[in-house]
Amino acid sequence: MDEAQAQKEIDQLREEINRHNRLYYTEAKPIISDLEYDRLMKKLIDLEEQYPQLRTPDSPSQKVGGEPIEGFRTVRHRIPMLSIDNVYEKQGIRHFDERNRKLLGVSNIDYTLEYKIDGVALAAIYEQGKLTLALTRGDGREGDDITHNARTVRGIPLVLQGDYPPVLEVRGEAYIANSDFALLQAEQKQQGEAVFANPRNSTAGALKLLDPRLCAKRKVRFVAHGLGYVENLKAETHFEFIQQLKQFGIPVTPGIRLCHGIDEVLHHAEEMMEQLHELDLEIDGLVVKVNHFSLQEKLGATSKSPRWVIAYKWERYEATTQVRNIHVQVGKTGTLTPVADLEPVQIAGTTVSRSSLHNRDEMQRLGIKIGDWVVVEKAGKIIPHVLRVVMEKRKGTERDFHFPEVCPICQTPVEQDEGGVYIRCPNLECPARLKETIRFFASRSAMDIEGLGSKLVEQLVDSGLVKNLADLYRLSEKKEQLLSMERMGEKSVDNLLRAIEKSKNRPLWRLLTGLNIRHVGTSNARILADRFRSLEELQQQSEQSLAEVEEIGPVIAHSVHHFMNSPYGRNMIQSLEEVGVNPTPPLQESNEQDLPETKPLAGKSFVVTGTLKRFTRLEIQELIHQLGGKASSSVSSRTDYLIAGENAGSKLQKAEKLGIPVLSEEEFQLMLQNQA
């Protein structure tokens, strides 16, 4: 092979490896195995060693590390890398928003919400699309030049793609993934080395190594979350800039949300905290940023931190304990959830003995076995989750857990959601599903059957007294058997039977909620009940007609249509009708027997937003329905009134733009009094 042929092959290998780096680190969609990737890299390295004159600084081969350096030089940041102010309560986020709105003189602000990664702050600087410099935060004014190590960091491309600015400083976080850290600890123990304490310290140490080949072995990764100095930036908002970074081939902070107002920030914050287990890295909070760069500039910064960003942090508590066993629970929709039974351990003042492992994919990521020692984390008030396996404690006696191919309760072959991670028991009559379905059916958000608690449900199903929902309404014929059950005296049984009888005439939306149709909660159940008014009418609808209902859409429509027309759904509805379940249609929910058109809120559509003082959200929505109105979840041109409580957000702003009348709780009650 001559030099020209070698150059051609090297160019092709570099292009292919860069493409796979982008697919793996930026898009999370790898198409080749690690082994195949390593073969491509080895081929490139071999060629560059054979033709050293063809090796370049931006070759992906530099990801494995070059020659050691003698020391670090200090470089001044063009724009200081300031720290971020912290708050530890949600009220602090509201105060942050109130201050910003006051300073800017606006009623609502768009924010972004992202995870705060517990890593090492890093700035990567590109000129004409090539990595030229990488700096640590240092003291915020000056940082250490760690370019030699940054070239080995996964997620920092040596060459950008797409329509990038001529000069671009990307700021983000360097970290070691939990799964990689667990393997690193095991390798250290095997080689008789001191074992690293935590991923963050290991990352910081790796970046300060003089030999980049040693840094490469620690598998440090990078995700971007902001910008420093940049020339000819086209993005006008932070969210837009983050999307552009993906196009340049740079991985970005996971799960970033765009929020229209502080209410959406707090709503999405709850969701993101519940999804912590899905991330293979350590998180110690959330970061809220004003989205528009022009507003960021107006807000400016103090000497210590920018005014346009704040971190909502929580205390992180960890403990190490052993996995006694792993078992699978079956939920009301048939979802099989693996659960780790742990040796009891104290975390943040509570005893933890169990932790959900969520799904099979999560178990595979953790590489968890029965008998493993694991690090369990409890962040703030979030339920504990397994952070990583302590690989160096393995003795070889641990046992693999094989995810069941059949339901552990009814032995029905399980099925995986198409395109999803959840594995379900498809048997609608599975006893485990039945128990969860009855619990939900009797809950306050559904049929509200007082006295039908979890322990009693267990006894009813296990004894065979209840084999379906309709059997609940046949219990009046089996009073003697009820009396023989644990903690069921004469008074308790009578109260239970009265509650069951009373539930026969609950509103239609409650029954629709309790039927446990996938994707149908109380809000969607109300919409369907308002539109079709009876189970019979709902059963007659096509999937198309259901999808055309406002706020329903094709996914919910398919689920409802499938249930209503399946043998299981038809049999359930028929059996409930046979035992006297006769739900009241929406227009008859009020105790008053007046005609629909005479009800005070007839034909009016309401949206409720903000924090209410006199009502819960469910209470005021029920009142609106009882009085002939419609309670919707989103503001549109068809909305007649918006009822706004404290801290109303984007819905209030949209209503004001559309000219929709806005009522306080007091004004809403006054309206009812006047119309009465």
Catalytic residues: 116
**Spatial contact of 254 and 171, defined as CB atoms under 8 Å apart:** no
H or E element: which one contains 316? strand 316-330
Q: What is the DSSP string of 633-665?
A: SS--TT--EEEE-BT--HHHHHHHHHT--EE-H
Tell me if residue 577 falls in helix, strand or coil.
helix
Q: Is the dihedral of CA 19, 23, 24, 25 positive or negative?
A: positive
What letters, b where the CB count within 10 A reaches 16 and e where it falls short, cover 604-640?
bbbbbbbebeebeeeebbbbbbbbbbbbbeebeeebe
Question: Tokens 């379900």, residue?
Answer: 424
Amino acid at 10: I
Helices (H) and strands (E) in the chain, counts: 24, 22
Residue 167 phi/psi, 5° resolution? -130, 130
Query: CA 531, CA 509: separation in Å to the nearest integer?
Result: 11
Write out the DSSP string of 539-603. Answer: HT--HHHHHTSTTTHHHHHHHHHHHHHSHHHHHHHHHHHHTT--PBPGGG-SSS---GGGSTTTT
Q: Kindly provide the b/e burial profile for residues 51-62, where b requires at least 16 CB atoms within 10 angstroms of the residue's own CB.
A: beeebeebbbbb
**Residue from 259, 261, 291, 255 nearest 273 by CA:** 255
CB-based contact 397:370 (threshold 8 Å): no
Q: Regarding beta strands 130-136 and 120-127, do their DSSP bridges make them parallel or antiparallel, or are they unpaired?
A: antiparallel
Measured at the CA of 248, the angle between CA 242 and CA 249, to 5 degrees, comes to: 95
The two beta strands, 86-87 and 309-313, are parallel
| Side-chain-facing half-sphere of 574: CA atoms under 13 Å | 8
Nearest-angstrom CA–CA distance, 281 and 114: 14
Dihedral pair phi/psi, residue 209, rounded to 5°: -75, 145
Q: Spell out the alpha helix ranges (H) of 22-89.
A: 34-50
Pair of tokens at residue 618: 């469910």
Question: In 10 A of CB 277, how many CB atoms?
Answer: 21
- 478 three-state secondary structure: helix
Q: Where are the beta strands (DSSP E) in 349-426?
A: 350-356, 373-379, 385-389, 415-416, 423-424
